[in-house]
Structure formats: C-alpha cells, structure tokens
Structure 1
C-alpha cells in the first residue's frame, strides 16, 4: 500500500507543479507573484519533479511555439505528424534539450517573461541530479515494495514529466470533444482529465490560453483552479484578469 501512496503522491505532486509553475506561470503568466514565492515554487517544482525536472525557460519556449503553430508541421509536438506516441516523445525531448542547452535560437516572439534560476536549472537538468533522484526512488522501493512487480513502476518515476507531456499532447489533440473551433485539432478528453489536473482540457485552453481556469462548461472541473483561487485569496499569487 505504501508504494501506491508514494506513486500517487509523486504522480500528482509532479503534475501539479508542471501545470501550475511551468505551464500556467512560466509559459502563460496566468498569475503574478513575489520573487520570494517564485523561488519557493521553483524549488518545489525541482523537488517534486525530481528525476524529470523540466527547465521552465525551455518549457515556456516550446509551449509558446506549440500554441503559435498548433497542429501544423511547425508544432514541436503535434501527434498528427508522428506515427506513434514514442516518435512524438523522442522529437519533443530532442527539441526541449536544444532549448535547455541553448543551441536552438527561439523565434523573436517567444522569449521573455519566464522565471530563471541558473543554479536550479543546472542542477535539475544535470545527469547527476537525475541519477540521484532515481537512486532515491529505487531505494524507497527496495525498502517498501512487497512484490517484485511493483518495481515495474520505477521507470514511470524516472520519466514522470515526459510521460505527463506525452499523455496531454497525444490524447489532448486526438481524442475527445470540442467546445470551440480553434482551427486546430485540440480536444477536451473528459472524464480522464481529472487524472491530468485539468491539462486535458486542451480545446478550452487553446481557445483561452491565458485563462487560469481550464474548465469552461459546468461539468468541466479543473482541480488546480480552486487551489490557485485559494492562493490568490491568501495573497500568495495574483491571478491575472482575462478580458
């Protein structure tokens, strides 16, 4: 039981900071916050994402390109130009790595207004950090896994961030229904969206990219939005008004 608790905690903890920090803050600036709180969120994103920490600058640049060229050949991860999800993941990881290493120059309209913390960026993207987190997950399993087959969950821990991205980018642009005609193939993949903390409301998000609430109809519940509203009420963040 403890292994399943650990797995679920890692799944949703990593996913929360990916959607809250790298996506909603770094990529879209859906809210503002103080420099001190930004650093707290940065550090928590590193700790919860662990072995698959996602550099916020690289994430923002690639995500902004995704919105600008959604489901065209210039989209860095549209599922409609790859034979399977593994080929899409391979291309996405390669593009992301180029942004991390700064060997790929972003288009003029994409850079700026994203958080950077060089120390954490270097640590989080280093092979050593990823190995140490991987070793920590493995050690936890050695002590608490009651059956050998539970160790099959370890690769998911190692690749948590890319796996989340693959699910969202593949399913969110192939399966589900649409509320809006966005001139792309974005979909809302309900009811599985809850497992992805709102990220599978892709059709809604592409219509309203700066809205902090990804749900638009009464039955579309974005679990992260109430958390953001609470943070707004506590004056930790200030949600940006969208007109």
Structure 2
C-alpha cells in the first residue's frame, strides 16, 4: 500500500501529492497489526480477568506475589533499557551475547517484536504530536485533531487498531539487516508464551504445586504483563497530557513522576524528547531513573560501553 500524507491538522483528511515518509495506510500490514496486537492485548486482558477472579477466591502466597513482582521488574527493564534506550536510541554499545540477552528480555513484555516496537517509537519521535505520530493524544493516525478524552483513548490503546502502520524500510532499515533483531522478531511468539504462561507456571508449580502454578501464571503472568502494558501505554497518553515541561520540544511530552517510578525512569518523558539518545531520562539527582542506574552498573561491570551522556550544561538549556 502506498504511504499517504494528509492535510494539516483540523478539518477533514485529504490525500495530497507528497507522501508522509514512513507511514502506510491500510493493506495487509494493517490487518496483520490488528491481528497481532488484538491477540496479545486480548490474551492479557482475558487472563487478567481470570486473575482477578483467582485473587478473590484463592489464598495468595509469597509464590504468586514473587512471580508478579520479579516478573514486573524483568519486563520493566526489558522495555526501558532494551526496546527503548538500546535498540531504539542506541544509547550504549554491548557485545553480541548481551544483545541477544537484552533482546529476549525485551520480548518478554509481550508488546510485539523488537523490530516493530522500535520502528513505531522512531516514528513517534520523528512526528511527535504532529501528523504522522503513531500514538499522539493530539492527532490521530489519519491526522485529525483529537479532543482530550478521544485523544487519550487513541494514544493509550486506540492506535493499536487504527489503519496505519510504520514503514519498516524508513524507520527500521538497519534493524532488518540485524540478525539479532530478526531472530527476536521470528521467535516473538515463543517468548510471549514463555512470559505469560510457561515461566510463571513453572515457578509456581516448582515451589507449591499445581494450584500455585496456575495462580502464578494468572497473577504473575497475564495480570503482570497487562498491568505493565498499561504503564507503557500511559507514557503515550498521560505522559503527553499531564505533567511538567522543562524543555520546549515542539511536542506535548511531559515529565510525570508517577509514571517515572512505575516505568523505572521512562516517565521523565519531556527530558527524553529533548535528549532522546541520552542513556539517562532523569537529569537531576531527584529524578529517579532505575533503568539509568542499571545501565551504569552494567558499564562498571564492563558489559556495556560507550554510554551516551549529555553534557551537564545541556541539562538546563
């Protein structure tokens, strides 16, 4: 399907001569996107409903809560350090074995493959809160102005089902030539099953038997991934609507301390849009950035290097 562009914000959309680079509308790619995201989100949501029922009808022990807590930390690091700071923005360099490890860690969040997550996020930065943004609360995928509630819905979850897709040849050409990324892409369904059901069930079964295996799978698998998915989606919606702005980024990206705590630093979204390649979203001592601390720790261990740090003067420009 040929990529389309649309008239400026406001009024009806209209095709114009010059295509918007990197955005496709309709076609098989849009159908595949809807099927994949529908399957992932639908599975997590359905499993979470069963998890709530399980919580109300069964006694929870340290097994289930450990499965939830440890799993939440793992996928939080996978998204923030893996998908976001490493694969998207190349905030540091590392070895091939570590690249595979970071890729697997990222895939455990069940938010699609490294390939497509990174392509979408690069598109978001290229068109932040303007026509072409993949998940803005200000403008939808067809470049129509969004009202507050409608925009929040679109940026949070509506974009997963809209007819637009990101052109991989524009925003992920390098990744399509990367054997690590493509291996992660091809094995994404295995890692989704492993994260949602396989690993949590095995953990619960090993320490408490069948009942705790099921409880760990529901609470530490489906509910955990669904809760964290909404934290990541909230950076798109809440993080572009509510919070403070240290920098004028020509977008609506905000710093939100609640989101920052829940996403291990990615809620310092205004900072990030000003310095996207910086390995640290928190720019002051009080801006807690757990993923940034982990990167520093890995650097001290010699597992990552060439960590991107902005000059101190740039933090207040």
- Normalising by structure 1, we get a TM-score of 0.79
Over the residues paired in the alignment, what is the CA RMSD in angstroms?
3.2
Whole-Å separation in 2 of the counterparts to 1:19 and 1:163: 14
Partner of 2:24: none
Is 1:105 aligned with 2:148?
no
Give yes or no for contact 2:259–2:266 (8 Å, CA) kept in 1.
no
Give yes or no for contact 1:197–1:224 (8 Å, CA) kept in 2.
yes
Deviation per residue, 1:11-50 (Å, 9 max, x gap): 121011111111001110000112222122223333x43x
**Shift in Å, 1:195:** 1.6
**Shift in Å, 1:122:** 1.8
- Normalising by structure 2, we get a TM-score of 0.62
Which residue of 226, 241, 253 maps to 1:186?
Answer: 253
Return the index of the structure with the highest Cα Rg.
2
**Shift in Å, 1:171:** 1.6
Which structure 2 residues correspond to residues 38-77 of structure 1 after superposition, within 5 A?
38-46=99-107, 48-49=108-109, 52-77=110-135
Q: Any unmatched runs of 5+ in structure 1? A: 99-103
Aligned length: 230
**Shift in Å, 1:119:** 3.5
> Is the alpha carbon distance of 1:134 and 1:209 closer, same or farther for their aligned partners in structure 2, counting shifts above 3 Å?
closer
Is 1:13 aligned with 2:74?
yes
Q: Any unmatched runs of 5+ in structure 2? A: 1-61, 140-145, 312-317
> Is the alpha carbon distance of 1:112 and 1:181 closer, same or farther for their aligned partners in structure 2, counting shifts above 3 Å?
same
Give yes or no for contact 1:29–1:210 (8 Å, CA) kept in 2.
yes
Whole-Å separation in 2 of the counterparts to 1:95 and 1:26: 25
Which structure 2 residues correspond to residues 30-41 of structure 1 after superposition, within 5 A?
30-41=91-102
Deviation per residue, 1:136-158 (Å, 9 max, x gap): 346749622899xx957764335
**Shift in Å, 1:9:** 1.4
**Shift in Å, 1:199:** 0.7
Which residue of 231, 237, 242 maps to 2:304?
Answer: 237
